[in-house]
Structure 1
């Protein structure tokens, strides 16, 4: 496993991190809790030390699963959670009011069974709450020792500029993959300039880049609705994406790796990316994801993937 320092911190995070959205059992289909716990343990034993979660994942269920899984190995992991987004039935509600932030954090600490969260992130911007009010409460909570470092997710440059005037942040969590690269134009140069880490998510485009779907899946049952967030599964995009997956599969075969490992390796070797978060529903996937950091694609292979990605992205209907 490769480990990378986050500027201004004492943290060294694994190049591949574990994303836990699926453990909420409400977006990526039903996942057996015991398999989720085994996947987390396997990820850690395979060298992954960054586990990213959030209260919005299954209305806290994912955090509970993480809490159970890290008992006895807390000293080996860096926990990142979030505030400001919660569930109301199937809806995601954004709320960065001071009272909500404090409630979110207290509940997260209880579910995770920890006294302090390493990286505490604003999940999504809240246009109805002045950022100054949110930051004031977050500073209080930090001073109380409830979290170590502040970070953000899904912020644009204007919001990054604004929050950096109000508080010290260490990272941004944006979506990034071979199918979504808009952050390369302005966000990545900004992060590099200001020495902010990029903890990217959606590395496999909701799983489509793993190549496991041989026909377009039907997500209409079993709480499976990832296609509502990842448009790459849409009928109008399916054929295009398969052309990219074919190239990924060819490179994977040449390296004796899986397509998922190729897609992950491409992401962790792109400029400005500190850690690429990837989900794992079982032990096999967790070990496979960790193995994506144990080889390097050639410069020619990186260029070929990037070129094919450019061609496909320009035609996607998003």
Structure 2
């Protein structure tokens, strides 16, 4: 497994991480089986992955609870990353809240679910357009001073938001969506790098389409994340373009005698601006397969070949759309 320093935090993370949205078992992923999820998390750690990324919003706390159970007796072997801001339970309103009181309350709730007395990387899950950034970052700095968290991160921010946060406190990492099929966030990665901001990227496999497992356009249930967040990938014209790219990825995979998905993971993980590429896994076999991508490297020539094919197929532009929070509070803010 490759390892990288996370920005200026002093924390070393595995270059491939396990993302835990799916194991929350909420409506986006069609349920979940706790025992299977625990086995997946433990398999990831047993195969070299040290970074586990979760959030209260993943299944209304279920994902954090499962991570806590899975890492009992293994806490010293892992870097735990979670998030703050998305209310759960009766307070859920579809928006992110990052005011001082919410952060101070939610951190203790996360610590309890994770069965730990500190969080390695604590991230603002989405922008909060109503709370002043200095209030948000004062709370995060206070948690770091108290020893409840080791590093401060933000997720789904743009450059202006990141700059405002950096004016208040050192931001150790950002979490943007970034993959072969979503490159539009590269500018914020480039913006943060000179200021010591690491990158935890999500969406490495494009919700599974970059594994090559779909032979024809699939049909998903209403509300499935692959329809809501990744819908355009499973529609024309993107579907056919992705199939063209997969031809190149398969040839490289065959040369290394590895699954196609590992090529896509390594393209992201080996990007010079990426500290760790998050990849979801619902079974131990998936976790082992994802971790195995960290045991070999794409050559410079192979990366160049993928990039050339990418340019020819997609036209050389940045793919995807910026994540924009459109919840209740954001709408209020935009109305003034």
TM-score relative to the length of structure 1:
0.93
Helix, strand or coil: the match of 1:106? helix
Provide, for residues 37-76 of structure 1, a one-character-per-residue CA deviation record: whole Å limited to 9, x for no partner.
0000000010100000001111111101100000010000
| Structure 2: gaps of 5 or more residues | 322-336
Give the paired residue count: 316
The CA RMSD over aligned residues, in Å, is 1.9
CA shift for structure 1 position 10: 3.0
Q: Report the equivalent of 1:135.
A: 137
* Alignment partners' CA distance in 2, 1:311 and 1:35: 41
* Alignment partners' CA distance in 1, 2:157 and 2:314: 22
Answer with 286-295 or 244-253: which moved more.
244-253
CA shift for structure 1 position 138: 2.1
CA contact (8 A) 1:15 1:293 kept: yes
CA shift for structure 1 position 310: 2.9
Q: Report the equivalent of 2:86.
A: 85
Quickly say closer, same or farther: Cα 1:168–1:30, change in 2 above 3 A: same
Q: Report the equivalent of 1:187.
A: 188
Helix, strand or coil: the match of 2:209? helix
Quickly say closer, same or farther: Cα 1:2–1:100, change in 2 above 3 A: same
CA contact (8 A) 1:179 1:313 kept: no
* Alignment partners' CA distance in 2, 1:232 and 1:251: 22
Q: Report the equivalent of 2:160.
A: 158
* Alignment partners' CA distance in 2, 1:25 and 1:233: 22
CA contact (8 A) 1:191 1:272 kept: no
CA contact (8 A) 1:119 1:147 kept: yes
* Alignment partners' CA distance in 2, 1:312 and 1:152: 32
> How do 1:10-159 and structure 2 match up within 5 A?
10-26=10-26, 27-87=28-88, 92-159=94-161
TM-score relative to the length of structure 2:
0.89
Helix, strand or coil: the match of 1:206? coil
CA shift for structure 1 position 28: 2.2
* Alignment partners' CA distance in 2, 1:154 and 1:313: 24
CA shift for structure 1 position 251: 1.3
Helix, strand or coil: the match of 2:174? strand
Quickly say closer, same or farther: Cα 1:3–1:242, change in 2 above 3 A: same
* Alignment partners' CA distance in 1, 2:254 and 2:70: 34
